[in-house]
Every structure is written in structure tokens, then in C-alpha cells.
Chain A
Amino acid sequence: MGTLIPAFDFQRCVIEPWVSDPWGTGWIIAMGFFVLAAGGLVGNYLLLRRMALIGDAISHSILPGLIGAFLIFRNSGTLVSVLGAFAAGVVTVAMIEFIHRQTRVKPDAAICIAFTSLFALGVLMISALESQGSFHIDADCVLYGEIAFVPLEEPLQFAGLTLGPPSAIRMAGILALVIAVICIFYKELLVTAFDSGLARSMGMKSGVWHYGLMGAVILVVVGAFESVGAILAVATLIVPPMFAAQLSSRLSVRLVLTMVHAAISSLLGLHLSYWLNCSVAGAMVVVGAALFVAAWAVTTLLSVWHRQQSEPESSESSRATYSIP
């Protein structure tokens, strides 16, 4: 065990990365923040609509989309991959809705059937292609991704300025897009998430917002896929919004808290991974989950304390209320 968990060395874990490689450290944290924040912002709406696990389904089923796009176009370029992943996401959502509407299978089972079948298809396609030797993608990378390779990319140049690793810039673009959409359509998104009946009566098309949200989920997951992998992409959709929802009931506050949570967990996660010598993306999610557990413990203790403080009054007042005929 002693060798498994090295002693905490402040110099090595916290100072060293910033001194020896500020570019790499900075971009890893930035990428972690972009992924967690974009996923978390979208995830807030998923959480309100009780669709948290749709993200799980989409992130798994992107795999056959990528491979299928490669098979059709014989090209693993940007546009092709995005198209393939997007198509796979759409197919997943359509399959889930089809199974749910056309049969008596419950939605949770429908989700499970759709994404596991597609994922199995993806794994099968990978191994078939690998045996032909025409394609190489490590199936393990698909599951966990590797955020530590982000700074190794050729930096993107624009007008003579060195901007940064392309994948991080791309994720920043997705985050900016998500923030912009939320700012512009805040009211519509709020109403459709909380009360679809009211939304319809106000003339909003709840179907449009539903599929718009699905589109946003697919976009975020596709962007995050490479750096954090399929399964941890689910974490970005679920963990930050749960943390925020634990602390506030107001959607606007939750959105801000999500961003704060994303920043803290990417920063602490990186240092945790330097300390324990483990996967960066995994460590970021572990920190994020720990933050949720802390928020949970604090709110639970606070509510218990509040109850004890107000116990005599509340019992009296409740008796008073009940005595009124």
C-alpha cells in the first residue's frame, strides 16, 4: 500500500508541474474545465428533465458512429468524424424513442438495449477492422480517453498568434456556444425543463427544445469524447449539476455553481493525479464526486442542525395548526 499511495509532496505535486511545464499544466486544466463546464451546463437541463442517463447512452453509442463514418468515407478527418458521431447520437435517441413508443418495454430498459447494442456493434467493427490492419483505434482509449495528450498536439496558429492545442480550442468553442445559447434562450429552456404544459400554452414547441437539448448533449459528448472517453463523459453531464442542485434550487445559481465546480475539480484533479500517479480524467471526476459528497454531507448536517434548532417551535406551531378546526 505504501508504494501504491506515495507520500504527499507539496513541491512535487503542486509546484513542480507549474514550474517545469506551465504550458502543458495550464492546457490540461483548461481542457478539463471546458469539458466539465460544457457538460455540466447541458447536464443541468438533463437533470431537471430526468434524462441524466440519455447522456450515458449517447456517449457509448458514438463509437460505432465514428467507425461507421470511417468505413464509409475512408477518412478519419474532422467533419467526417463529427458527422458519424452525430448520426450515431441521433440513431440512439431514435432507437430509444422507437422501442419506448412501439413496445411495452419501459424507457430505462429501452435506453439500455439501444446503447449496449450499438456499443457491441462498435467493438465488433473495431476488431474486424483491426484484423484487416486497415484501421487502428485503441478500444481502451475509447473508454477512458487521455487528457494528458492535449498539450502535445500541434498548437493552432491564427494570424501569427499561437492559440493553443486544437482540441482545447474546439472545446472552448463548444463551451462558448453552450453559454451563448443558454444566455439567449434562458427563459425558454427554463420553462420547457420545468413545466412542458406551461411551455406549450406559451406557444413554445417542447419537441424542438427536447431535440435541441439532445443535439447539445451529442455535441458536448463528441467534443469531450477524445479527452475523457465515453464513460467519463457521462460524469461531466451528471456530477457537476448534482453538486449544484445539492446547493441551490435556483437554476441561474446552479449554472454558476456548475462552472465553479468544473474549475475546482479540474484544478484539484490534476494535482491529485500528480500525487497518486494516476489517470488525469479519472482524478478530475473523483474530485468532482468528492465535492458532491462534501456538499451532500454539509447540507444534510445543516438541515439536521436546523431541525434541532427549531424543534420546540415547530412542534408547537404544528400543534397549533392542527388544533384549528
Chain B
Amino acid sequence: MNMRVGWRLKPIVGRAVCALGVWLLTAPAAHAARISDIAESTLLERAIRFFSFSDPSLRFALAGSILLGICCGLMGAFLVVRKLALMGDALSHAVLPGVALGFLWNLTRDPVAIFVGAVLTGLLGAGTVQVIRQTTRHKEDAALGFVLASFFAVGICLFTMIQNLPGGNRSGLDKFMFGQAASMGPQDVGLLAVVTGLALGAVLLFYKELKITSFDPAFARSTGLRVQIFHYGLMLLLAFAIVASLQAVGVVLVSAMLVIPAAAAYLLTDRFGMMLLLASVFGLGAGAIGSFMSFVGRNLPTGPLMVLSASAVFLLALLLGPRHGILSRWWRQVSRSARIRRENTLKAMYQVLEENDFTTDQITIKDLAVKRRETLDEVEHQVATLKRHGLATISSTGDAACLTPAGWQRACEIVRNHRLWELYLTNAAQMAPDHVHDDAEEIEHVLGEANVQALERRLNFSRKDPHGKMIPGIEDIHAGRALSRDSERATGFGGKA
């Protein structure tokens, strides 16, 4: 890029823009969008004041934020599972011309007129997306982008035309851009309550239908459900939710409140009912935390704080989710590879014992190092790890180790798994005996008890692996450290085979 003609935010022009106030009329929306203007009080006092719920404006703002969170979380869950996340974004922009038209109806901020206008243009936007997808070659993303941009542009034009109208009460339209939870009155909260009730009622009544049409539209159609009706019903509810929430969080951030709590819930559960519940709870939490932080931290707007709280919840779910969380997955991987290392050491110890015909229960570190082809330090470290897990003991001189009963049992199991699998591969899968070792190295750590029993039955309880070594049986495993010479047991006549 040519730096001579480079980019900059020209402060003078920027100030001129603001001074002229071409766009919006009153103070910057972000300024007004905080719940309370308490100039001189400490953080603690403000926190106490928050929990006393004494300010009526706070009560409305908090109730509104909580209702908004529940309603958006619920609707957002459907968006996320239907892969319509960006539909929320497109619709929240598409309602803007409706807001302007509703305002033009009688040139006041009549909530009912604005609500009706916004819902109508929202539905028009959803319909346009559908029509573009069906009649042109454009894909969903382009259709959504088109609706988002063109409806928003129409909205901007209408807004600027309204500003140039002579007379009329124009204040307050700017709130729809960035939202202003602080200005929510009983009417707005009432509207949110009605919309939340409607959404809850619809979900409870048509839970099964909504679930089927969301996850398997083809099956739903085959059972005679009208999939399109449910799609548009959802879009209607979505438009309701968006329009009712605009007041509090504004056009851009509504889609965040729809998608982020639902996506966090999606990371945590595989059951749809649970996901709906979690999404509403996360939305509720984000609303409450957002309004708390906005009240406690001075001069901070509510909407962005709500969104960032929701993002924090998402981040936590992303990292710590029990099944899909990144940290949990990482921890599972680390502990699995540590277990495999331990089991490999145990196996080597068994093999050292076997080479000594089980005449002694001492395994010298040196023999083990030769077996593992590792340095003495590494082997000492591994044996120390075994000791920590109660699988081995170390002699007082430190140059030899013994298996504990638990360690012996696990070592036998691993060797058995390995040799059984080698035998299975050579007998049943007709593989050459010198090709089966690597495969068995992998699977010995994951074979379960049921698999082992099935393998043993399948192999007619053979006791000898393809390399002529004995396979430890159940008796060996449960024999503990007793070095018996019983001829029925692998550990009894190791090396004689």
C-alpha cells in the first residue's frame, strides 16, 4: 500500500463529523448506554447498591437483560443447530428499515408501531433470503449478505431522511443502533416478557416438531410435518426476539446474544433439551453479569458487557468442557500417553523377569535399561513414576526394582494382551508372525476385559504366542508375586518352552 496516501483517522474530520451530528442526534449512544451515573462512590458501595435493587431503573434494566438473555439463548439454540447463525445477524440488520417505518407511522417512538414494522421487514428479509436461494444460483451466504447490506442501507437512508424532516420528536432512534439497556421502561420489559413467554410456550408446545425439523428435515417431511411452516414460525419468533432486544443491545450485538450462549451450550452437551436449557441459562447469566458490571464499573455500556460475558462463558466452555473442551482433551491425551509409557515399562520389567526364568523378583535398573534401550537416567525416572503410582518398589540401594502385586497384575495383563493379539493376527488374520509386533504394541493398551475373553475363546485358550513365548493366563495375573513353578502357568515355566 502506498504510504504517501496512507490511511488515517483524521481527528479533525472525525470531530467535524461528530459536531455536525449528521447521523444521530443526541449524545453518542455509547455514552448514554450505561445503567447508572453515580459519580462519587466506591466499587463496593456500587456493588451493594446493585444487590439492594433499590434503583427502579436498575430493576428494569436487570429484568430486561435477564429476559433478553433467556429469550435470545432459546432462539439461538435453534439457529446454531440449524446452521443459521448468520441468519440472526442478517435479520437483526434487516429490521432497521422497519424500525424507521414504524417511527414514520405517527412520528413518535410508539413501541407497537416500531415492533410491527420491524417484524414485518424482518420477515421480508427472511423471505428474500429464501427466494434468492431458490431462484438464483447464489448460495446461502451471499443471500444473507445481500439482505443484510441492502436492508441496512435502506434503513440508513430512511433514518437520514427522518432526521432531515422538519419537526417531529426524533430523539431515541439512535438507541436502536447500539442499544441502551438503561433506558428500558416498564413497556419495553413487558414486551420482552411477552416475547420470552411466547418463545418458551412455542418451544414447550412444539418441542418434538421443532427438534425433528431442526435435525432431520427429510424425515420430518416423510412423517407429514410441514417443515416450511416451522421454519417460518421460527423466523417469526426470531424476529420477535430480535426486535424486542434491539432496545437493549442494538443491531450488531443482538446476533451475538443469539449465537454465543447457544454455541457455548452446544459445546457442553449432546442432548437438545439440555442445550436449550443451558443456552437460556448462559443467556440469563450473561445478561445479569453484563448489567452488574455496567452498574458497578462506571461509564461502561451494558450491551457490549453482556456480549463479552457471553464470550467469556463460551471461552470457558471451549477450554474446560468435559468432553469437547480443549484443555480436557489435552489432559486426556497427556494422561493417556503417560499411562502407555508406564505400561511399556511394566511390560519390559515382565520381560526381564521372564528372561531370568522368574527365579528372582528383583529387576536391575541396568537390565531394564538394556531392554528399553534407554539411558539409566530415563529408566530410573520411569521406575520412580511407577513407584508413585504404587506399581513398583525400589530397593534401598536404588539399582533394582520390584513389582508390587498391582504392578505385577497390570504387567501380566499387558503382556497377555500383546501376545494374544499377535496370536490372533497370525491365526485368524493370516499375517506373518514377524509382521504382527507393531500392531500389537498399539492395541495392547486399549484391549478391554471383554475383548480379551472373546479373543481367548476364539483362540481356544492357546497358551503360546507365535514367537513361542507363553501367554500369561488369569491364574498368573491373580497369583500376585508368588513365583510358583506350577507347570500350568506361564510364569511357572517361562523360558522352558
Contacts and interface: CB of A to CB of B under 8 A. Distances in A.
Contacts of B31: 127, 130-131
A184 to B, nearest CB: 17
B68 interface: no
A203 B288 CA distance: 54
Contacts of A246: 136, 138
A296 B142 CA distance: 14
A78 B150 contact: no
B469 interface: no
B149 A235 contact: yes
B146 A292 contact: yes
A101 to B, nearest CB: 11
B72 to A, nearest CB: 12
A286 B164 CA distance: 19
B9 A120 contact: no
Interface stretch (B12-20, B192-200, B338-346, B382-390): B12-20
B152 interface: yes
B299 A286 contact: no
Contacts of A285: 149-150, 153
B156 A144 contact: yes
A3 B162 CA distance: 10
Interface string A149-161: 1001100100000
B256 A66 contact: no
- B1, B148, B303 — most chain A CB neighbours (10 Å): B1
Contacts of A255: none
B307 interface: yes
Contacts of A281: 153, 156
Given A108-B85, A278-B160, A124 B17 contact: no
A298 interface: no
B17 A4 contact: no
Contact of A78 (B8, B152, B154, B255): B8
B135 A238 contact: no
A124 to B, nearest CB: 4
Interface string A242-253: 100110000000
B56 interface: no
B437 interface: no
Contact of B301 (A52, A123, A219, A292): A123
Interface stretch (B86-94, B183-191, B444-452): B86-94
A50 B144 CA distance: 11
Interface in B1-52: 1-3, 5-11, 13-18, 22-24, 28-31, 33-34
Nearest to B10: A153
Given A130-B31, A149-B16, A283-B157, A108 B83 contact: yes
A116 B256 contact: yes
B255 to A, nearest CB: 6
Contact of B142 (A52, A108, A136, A141): A52
A226 B6 CA distance: 12
A80 to B, nearest CB: 8
A314 interface: no
A128 B145 CA distance: 31
B3 A116 contact: no
A242 B155 CA distance: 21
A132 to B, nearest CB: 9
Contact of A56 (B6, B33, B89, B156): B89
A286 B146 contact: no
Contacts of A234: 145, 148-149
Contacts of A146: 17, 22-23
Contacts of A181: none
Contact of B30 (A127, A177, A222): A127
A114 B145 CA distance: 17
A268 interface: no
A89 B81 CA distance: 27
A71 interface: no
Contact of A104 (B17, B23, B138, B267): B267
Interface stretch (B258-266, B276-284, B391-399): B258-266
A103 interface: yes
A124 B34 CA distance: 11
A300 interface: yes
B253 interface: yes
B137 interface: yes
A106 B158 CA distance: 35
A53 B86 contact: yes
B307 A116 contact: yes
B256 A278 contact: no
A127 B162 CA distance: 26
Contacts of A238: 142, 145-146, 149
B1 A141 contact: no
Contact of A81 (B7, B23, B152): B7
A190 interface: no
Contacts of B259: 109, 112-113, 116
Given A103-B267, A173-B1, A235-B150, A140 B177 contact: yes
Nearest to A276: B161
A245 B138 contact: yes
B89 A140 contact: no
B178 interface: yes
Given A139-B178, A277-B164, 7 more contacts: A60-B252, A81-B8, A82-B7, A103-B267, A231-B252, A234-B149, A239-B146
13 contacts: A4-B161, A52-B145, A76-B9, A78-B7, A106-B80, A108-B86, A113-B256, A116-B307, A117-B256, A120-B253, A121-B304, A141-B17, A239-B146
Interface of A: 1, 3-5, 47, 50-53, 55-56, 60, 66, 70, 76-79, 81-82, 85, 99, 102-106, 108-109, 111-113, 116-117, 119-121, 123-124, 126-128, 130-131, 136-141, 143-144, 146, 148-149, 152-153, 156, 166-167, 169-170, 173-174, 177, 219, 222-223, 226, 231-232, 234-235, 237-239, 241-242, 245-246, 273, 276-279, 281-283, 285-286, 288-289, 292, 296, 299-300
5 smallest CB-CB distances across A and B, nearest first, come from A116-B256, A235-B149, A289-B150, A78-B6, A285-B153
